[in-house]
Structure 1
């Protein structure tokens, strides 16, 4: 089955800013990480452009959801993409490299080391920094490094045969090690070491060393040398100040600290808290949390409660930060600090007035909170509009809750049923249910629907959980069974309230050609393929199908991994152990006769016959 990801809805409220996107499959696993200068344009290309690459086509068909994190520049996006690829190691990030490896920055192990871009097997002697996914971005980075640290980038065959310095030496971008006696060997080693430190995130140490050398040069009255060193410091500061994430990875003196950043956005009575989890100066992951705010509730109290609950509920799995950065004044922050410090076992500071190095992270969190809230509200409003359109189509006053049922089996075996619930805000995951179906003829979907509906509704149900509409994946046969069940129900709640609607995929089983049945007599109803009421029905039906399929697959795997003896009634763990021990294994037991099985202590003649027939027929 193809993915049910509604890309049109997702793209309709996507930002055009630069950033990083993560694609997830149906199991919630990140399958691809990418960056974009324009997120909307880049992600649109996956769905609106003609795909000639089979690998990309497979990726798109496996997308279940996408989330994005907005950055201030494309370079920030590159570095964040690199961190996420290292963290998640997505499957398709490897597949898409045309059977080649990622691009690295390579520092050779020659007498005069060369810095260059490397792609392929790492069989050369030297140091590799990366990986990076885009070679053009590495070329930009190499130009910046060459501008700051004048070490060679020329190929070895050119380096060995030169008789005079090249243009790079003339413009001060190379020390000219190709010409004997032109460069101080010690100076070249120093510059090489600076590059090494810079690429491993120790720019603060590089600056400290250069500052020390500049001061010594000034004292010795070597003003030209001091000016050159000052220019070098200025260039490092320029590159690290230009990009937020660059700055925090390469410059921040506290880059080893663990920091959580919370960005806040609020609108339409909904709060969005965007959390950035920064470990060792790198943005490892992010998450969005949405809270509804009633008129009588104070905003800061809700946020304070959320922060407390979040860290307390995740105390076993979360690596606690040293600092939490916020851009709003939180009342009684000192009490919250004390509580979180006790949970973490070390001091946690909640910082409101921030150092300039941390402001960019906070700005990043705020931007992402605003984008996530905009997306969330758009999504909720779309669902509400579709609920209204569906209520109008069905000619009922209002729809607050929809439940949908689907059946899944493999040629009649391992039959399971699913029930998913939706309200005007989207799926209600806490009310999702799956049912194991027994006692029916293999492949009888109508009997399966009859059983699951009886089990779901033949009991007392809370008033707010009585569905206004019940969707059934099937045709007239399934709808007839549903009507029979509801007419036979003897319950205290109003069983005539829910509207029953069957949705059949039709002869060709194509999306958009579904037939709807409100009655078991007469012809079905066809809705336009672009109608909002059909979209919400398809969306909920597909959610029920996926949930039924996942439950069925889990059941199938569990049964296949279970011993044949475990499926025989009357054979518990102790008897099973005795049978296997006495017979010398399962294969010997299968080959044994009824007379042989009776000899096992505790096994009667009737039970022996039952075991024999179960294992041989």
Structure 2
């Protein structure tokens, strides 16, 4: 029986589930009544589970293609054998259908959809909307008063661009709180990275002209910027203002150098994305390269979850574009290595998706295809190494199966102050940062590690016992026999006593490699050889839990004391702290800096710079 009703602006047609035993799906009758409107369709099995979600410009034509055409890919052919029911939602436009499709895919996670998990936003360069705009690294939501340039494939590309713009146009990067309270120029002015608008060393008009040039450069108008600077240099030289002319000459050389440094660049100052797809066995990789303003900014690899054994390259390409460009702006042109068909048109037809048309675009695609192969090769090497370590750990601990999901807990505090428990997660030998958790511990006697561990475990595994969270295959407790005993008590109380667990006690003088393992179900403590692959995995996970706990504790303690994050780093006293804050224009600037940037500050060694990066980024 078929029902139709209107809900929330959508016309929804539902083919109801048949009673047991299920009747064969009558595709002919269903298609006869299907609308020509754009919309979303859902393929369901006999149990009502969603197998696949798709969108279409024309629902009738698109859904009909599944049941009237032959030559489907193995993946789609297998899915069609299981289809017992189809649901469709007609929308007012194709864009509306794209949004709805993406929402349903993320919510339902259908077995035969290709899902790209890319929740991390891309970084941008920001020019703030202040009287003297600030140049800054930005990730997240946009403010109306500021201007944003990007996206960039990674933070390194942003920081490199900001450094170039600082050297060339001398724009400020300090936070507004620092800018508003300066009484004399900072070190950035002294090393000729800023014109010191904070103390009036540059007029608003001159600074605005520099901002305009920087904005033109970021928009890809390189030739125009260099032409303007060349004209200004000639005028200064004619007026015998040789110092000004020399400064302009240096600006021109800096810009030309960065343009020359691009191993692949375009004279057309184009905005282009290049997408390469490669499938090897069960592994799928999509590599996205970005060209902005004619400059190749680097690339990024994506590995989708397919839920099915066989996927065609064209299917992976279309799925990636539909999901990626829903959340990120599409450039004017997307270069692909295979025909994407006519099912995808980002930006309401403003973007062209096509094969390379000239030698430059072929070079870009060739680079993307080379990088997609390298990404897959690296992923397989990492997976092989992780699999070997997991198998060695399973054998050493006498586990029935491989511990695919491992969770590790640690406690951190300073004399009982700011107690924080960490839980880090390792899945198939790879750390899953997005699943890490911290627990702020309260209501216990300060310094009572046993009570802190009990509280953290009860909060984490109480959800497992209630069926609200997934259970791990192995639990690691950073601590000795006592902490592990507390863990076993909590697990038994929650009805999870079957879960495997290990207490990792620090060795003599806390030396790495001398740890003792207290294994659930084993009467005597276990010590593994220092070169044991499974032991290395335990050490890596334990160290990550320790790092994550310390970072959370220091942040909580600093917040309670109202202190800067730099004050908690050994070796950073008042003098070095002032230098760092002045050099980078505030704590945010220090956090955005790399170790290479930080060790340029006087008195900061490479070792200390690396420590600062580790401490600030937890």
Larger-Rg structure: 1
TM score, norm. by length of structure 1 = 0.50
